[in-house]
């Protein structure tokens, strides 16, 4: 059964597109404005840098990512050990949302 939990209103949202060698990160603050984008290579040094950058924000952080193979596991472990709230996003849910937004399958 799926556990429901709401996102805090003042939380900074972080979306991570996972792949084998690098991750694309999008950071959005609740007050709006420009989103911050960054590329994180799949190395311990870059994962540590990302965790430090997110910690420096000083607000609740909710990180969402699609579980792609096993590539998400090391980054998820690093962020979880740093105390961030993590959310796995189903690839099926992403596909259905994309279909609904674009009125058909559009990759």
pLDDT digits 0-9 by tens, 29-73: 888 888 889 999 999 999 999 999 999 998 899 999 887 778 888
For residues 76 and 7, which has the higher predicted lDDT (pLDDT)? 76
Residue 7: per-residue pLDDT: 73
5 domain-assigned: no
Assess whether pLDDT exceeds 90 at residue 79: yes
3 domain-assigned: no
97 domain-assigned: yes
1 domain-assigned: no
CATH number, domain with residue 22: 3.30.420.80
2 domain-assigned: no
For 64, the domain range is 12-102
- Mean pLDDT, the chain, rounded, equals 85
Residue 10: per-residue pLDDT: 79
Q: What is the pTM of this model?
A: 0.77
Q: How far is it, in rounded angstroms, from Cα 9 to Cα 101?
A: 24
């Amino acid at each position: 059964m799926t556990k429901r939990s709401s996102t805090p209103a003042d939380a900074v949202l972080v979306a991570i597109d996972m792949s084998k060698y690098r991750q694309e990160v999008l950071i959005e603050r609740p007050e709006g404005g420009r989103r911050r984008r960054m590329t994180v290579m799949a190395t311990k040094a870059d994962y540590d840098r990302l965790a430090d950058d997110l910690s420096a924000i000083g607000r609740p952080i909710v990180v969402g990512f699609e579980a792609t193979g096993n590539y998400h596991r090391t980054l998820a472990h690093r962020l979880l050990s740093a105390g961030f709230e993590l959310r796995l996003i189903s690839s099926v849910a992403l596909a259905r949302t994309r279909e609904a937004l674009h009125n058909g399958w559009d990759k």
